[in-house]
Structure 1
């Protein structure tokens, strides 16, 4: 053993491997300190390897040409498509309905839903969607958020073990397997293991949730949020907003809203049109003036004249008044919203009426309320001159509200309400999004085209069906993650080029190689999990995957179980709140401490290691 360490010492300090190890130590140190952005550290790694001459320019920048980098970027876009079409939120709403008042049931359904969605989109994105849902459930059930936030993060991490595309480490390991052995993992290679671990995870969290019991002061806690409900109450809109159904034979049918002149004749402002398409309601809240009214349309109207008689209006135009339910507001808040604005000092809008400003024509939004000196103004708002300090409540499509922030030079926009996080600008395209995802999964499973091509086809279909636009597609890509992966790739190349991988493999062969195949998998899992405490799971997979595959080749065993072990261990980042962004996101929302993650995560990681070590060789023989 001493001869091995002497050999290692001479090898490291006599060639470029010393500098590779030095760069790696500095990188881990910077990651742990968190003083420099991780993507910036990755760029420094690229610069260091380039200036040192250890790698050529082509080798340093090889990550930018890696198909898996493109695939990861495309998967970000696909995940955004699921959010924009409301599919992700429909799952979360189903969870709230189905769970009712059973904490056990909500925990099981929550983990199943998160793991299922996370199989096809970013686990970070899924957890971000479900955090407000969990907060609402905890408030309704009067339980501490500590009891459900940890299961949420655990399910998010387990989702990375469900499919090949579920998390970047899976793709990194598969890419290394292809590069070294020309073998590949299938789309559902991870699924049997992931499902088994998910079941164990649910049972485990049902048991250990009692370790996370909160205090009475923490029960049902929820941060104060500025909501549309508060705006509706604050501007006294509850009695003014009504729904009317356009009946057969109505004189509204076949005419657009500009022709009807409802605002000038009746002081009635149409805020949205609800129309059933493909067995589900679709809400139109932009460009209403030119939109033709059809039979069975439901008009959401704002009545500003207190003397207005709705019953007479409906009878005259063959309409039918409809009740406004809570579900109506829930559905409409995904496509349309409201926000307060105020005129800028010395703005040319001061002293002018909304009609003179052509506010609706210019911004596509309706002003449904005006506050002056904390008093709500009544009457026909369109003819009221705007004064300094007025607060105007505008209603319309979320996209137009967001566009107004950059376009409106005469108004300040106050903070968005909480519902903007649930905005679904392409809700009507949900069936098309499901079809696009199904096409991608089908192509990946059958292997007709490479995975990156299948994902590209799905993205183009999402664009074709208007599930996503170019701006939201580019904005959805988490470029920091892309740069991090690209910047860490030179380490695996440099370790192989300078003999570092061979050195580690030799060390593992001498230490655990004679102890049996399962002990080798234990050592690989432990190595991956420990490194994952300090750097991201993606960077960990980049470093350990070539070691695992080289070790398998040295022992003349199948590299697949070794690669699978590394991929699963990379996703098992349960032990600290900084091991994964998923853990970090629930840290504050769940009011957790560092020790909570250690207490829950360490035993669970050991449990997953045992499952992996014994299950992987059964499914993927040596």
Structure 2
């Protein structure tokens, strides 16, 4: 073992350790490695930065934009509505349609995005059918993971493995090369979930469907708003009259958050969203959030009348068409974690007020604006329904758990839905026929989405998950560094010395197991970057075709069923499904073994050794 190889392995061990701790963030670790590898002298600067020009990275970025176009035009949500209409009252039919829909949509857009879209749909359907939502959330996440086994562009690991084949001077996988295996796994997954779904409802904490179909009064009760919300009537002699909210510093001085202002109009009572520039008029009724009535506040601002608590419910009910509520969850990879509610600046960014916070299903009291958020927290936002609908497009740092209005109103480019489908069809046609390289096909799809106004430049840039792209770019040089320093040859020699006499099928099984195991600790994309060169080198050492070995790694990278932290998809459903860590282990491990058997049997048939 050379000194250069030892340096690479040390850097790799440091990266894996930091990935496991998730501190700093995975993209920051990737950038650190991009700097460390050239400084160590193992790679040149162009070699270390080559990932920025890798076609697979461009394709993945383009697919984020394509997915955003399907969301903005309502195509994705329309599929959810179609699912609700055809599910009827049958839980089994619902599960089958749900998994088919999610797997199909996830084959052409981010599985994490698809699961985030369908979470509120599942919560709503579970409430309507009065079934435990825990029976549907894990099938939802499993279908999202299986969707990665459907097409070449379904998940970044597929593109990584494809790119490694091309880099080795081989033809990559075709667009539907993964589909036969993915379809078999999907059918088995549906059958497996139909048989095991009742075990998902047998945990210590039983999820009840009606808890997630929140009406206004349900949310008021569950977040203890009746204990925190007050109505302050502004009399004509009040010093607040004629002043703007940002002048009063009510939140800073008294811990009072003004949610909305009720004002008597010429023909009806108006409810105005509270912003810093809102001017208070005599006769206004301020709907405020405060931990307890403040005597100091009443003394400093005379001319105020504190209304009875019962008035709070009346305000929410009377103004349901104007004053909306939505429940938002903080996922495990959110940048909100560790920040206070005040630091989020939700009012200035989204025109919505955070008025409640729940942690481990318990509403928190006290001064919420100073509370630091944790993964899995849910908070309640209030504001105009139009602003809440727009919140659906900002799902990177949070997930909206309830759809606050009709699905059609959520989509800002609803009328462009036919053009979004046309753009998608053109992209898939170009990829399938091979008329142009995949990267050009993806860019053509993006340009068509923009031409037909399915996306704009702002939404396109926001839709790209830059963290994932930087992670891929930062990990790709490790494959080259291991190859240059003999690390891959060393791994292959060790693998063949142990299993060489057992035959190619045993090596395929071992590759699957090793890839799945590594994927428990680091992202499946980083796992594919590390294992793809090992798979191809193993095939070359055996004088066998590299395609079955590469395909095995790609399938194993998507088989992240075993723990809730194996994939962001699993982490998303952990809280809403009320799952425990062991729930994923006891359901996911047997299914992973099933996928292993399917892979070892089918891959050599489809891609002869």
**Is the TM value for this pair above 0.5?**
yes
| Residue 23 of structure 1 pairs with residue 14 of structure 2 | no
Q: Which residue, 341, 365, 377 being the options, matches 2:273?
A: 341
Residue 509 of structure 1 pairs with residue 496 of structure 2? yes
Contact 2:123-2:213 at 8 Å conserved across structures: no
Q: Is the contact made by 2:135 and 2:201 (CA closer than 8 Å) also made in structure 1?
A: yes
Distance 1:72 1:464 in 2: 20
Aligned to 1:142: 130
Counting only pairs closer than 5 Å after superposition, residues 575-590 of structure 1 correspond to structure 2 as 575-590=562-577
2:81 match: 93
CA distance in structure 2 between the aligned counterparts of 1:129 and 1:407, rounded to whole angstroms: 19
Deviates more, 1:204-213 or 1:107-116: 204-213
Structure 1 unaligned runs (5+)? 1-10, 232-302, 307-337, 354-371, 379-390, 397-401
Matched residue, 2:254: none
Partner residue of 1:259? none
Cα distance in structure 1, aligned partners of 2:271 and 2:492: 60
**Structure 2 CA distance, aligned partners of 1:160 and 1:510?**
32
Matched position secondary structure for 2:162: helix
Match of 1:177 among 153, 156, 165: 165
Tell me how far 1:229 sits from its aligned partner: 12
Mapped partners of 1:531, 1:94: distance in 2 = 38
Q: CA deviation at 1:404?
A: 10
The residue number in structure 2 matching 1:38 is: 26
Deviations 1:530-565 (A, max 9, x none): 111111000000000011001111111111111111
**Which one of 557, 563, 583 corresponds to residue 550 of structure 2?**
563
Runs of 5+ unmatched residues, structure 2: 221-264, 285-305, 325-344, 356-380, 393-406
Per-residue deviation, 1:217: 5.5
Name the CA shift for 1:513/1:227 in 2 (closer, same or farther; >3 Å).
Answer: farther
Q: Cα distance, 1:181 vs. partner?
A: 3.0
Assess if the C-alpha contact under 8 Å between 1:85 and 1:428 holds in 2: yes
Q: How does 1:438-449 map to 2 (within 5 A)?
A: 438-449=425-436
Distance 2:206 2:198 in 1: 17
CA apart distance, 1:94 = 0.7
The reply on whether 1:493 has 2:480 as its aligned counterpart is yes
Aligned counterparts, 1:75-474, within 5 A: 75-214=63-202, 218-223=207-212, 305=267, 341-342=273-274, 344=276, 350=281, 414-415=382-383, 419-420=389-390, 421=392, 423-474=410-461
Corresponding position: 1:613 with 2:600:
yes
1:144 CA displacement: 1.2
Instruction: Report the 3-state secondary structure (helix = DSSP H, G, I; strand = E; otherwise coil) of the residue aligned with 1:169.
Output: helix
1:384 match: none
| Deviation of the 1:226 alpha carbon | 7.2
Contact 1:340 1:392 (C-alpha < 8 Å) held by counterparts: no
Match of 2:561 among 564, 574, 587: 574
2:72 touches 2:411 (CA, 8 Å); kept in 1?
Answer: yes
CA shift for structure 1 position 394 = 5.8
Q: Which has the larger radius of gyration?
A: 1
1:280-329 deviations in Å (ceiling 9; x for gaps): xxxxxxxxxxxxxxxxxxxxxxx9858xxxxxxxxxxxxxxxxxxxxxxx
In the TM superposition, residue 157 of structure 1 has moved relative to its aligned partner by: 0.1
Is the 8 Å Cα contact of residues 496 and 502 (structure 1) preserved in structure 2?
yes
- Preserved contact between residue 323 and residue 383 of structure 2 (Cα < 8 Å): no
Offset at residue 213 of structure 1 (A):
1.6
Q: Distance in 2 between matches of 1:503 and 1:112?
A: 42
* C-alpha contact 1:343 1:350 (8 A) present in aligned 2: no
Provide TM-score, normalisation by structure 1. 0.71
Distance 1:404 1:503, change over 3 A: closer
Which stretch shows the higher mean deviation, 416-425 or 454-463?
416-425
CA 1:165/1:304 → structure 2, altered by over 3 Å: closer, same or farther?
Answer: farther
Matched-pair contact (CA < 8 Å) for 2:65–2:464: yes
Residues in 2 aligned to 1:339 and 1:176: alpha-carbon distance in whole angstroms: 58
